[in-house]
Amino acid sequence: MSEEPRSEGPTVRTTVDGPILEVVLDRPKANAIDAATSQELSRVFAGFRDDPALRVAVFTGAGERFFSAGWDLAAAVGGEAFEADYGEGGFGGFCELPGRYKPVVCAVNGMAVGGGFEIAMAAEFVVAAEHATFFLPETALGIIPDAGAIRLPRILPAVVANEVLYGGRRLDADEAERWGLVNQVVASHDLLTVAHDLARRIATAAPLAVEAVMAIGQVSCHRSVGDAFAYLRSGELEAYERMLASADALEGPLAFTENRNPHWEGC
To the nearest 10°, the Cα dihedral for 67, 118, 96, 207? Answer: 60
The interaxial angle of helices 115-122 and 146-155, nearest 10 deg, is 50
CB-based contact 114:137 (threshold 8 Å): yes
CA-to-CA distance for 198 and 196, rounded, in angstroms?
A: 5
CA-to-CA distance for 242 and 233, rounded, in angstroms?
A: 13
Catalytic residues: 118, 138
Give the SS3 label for residue 18.
coil
Q: What angle do CA 2, 7, 9 make, to 5 degrees?
A: 155
Give the SS3 label for residue 219.
helix
Give the SS3 label for residue 243.
helix
CA-to-CA distance for 70 and 118, rounded, in angstroms?
A: 8
* DSSP for residue 212: H
What amino acid occupies position 20? Answer: I
CB-based contact 149:115 (threshold 8 Å): no
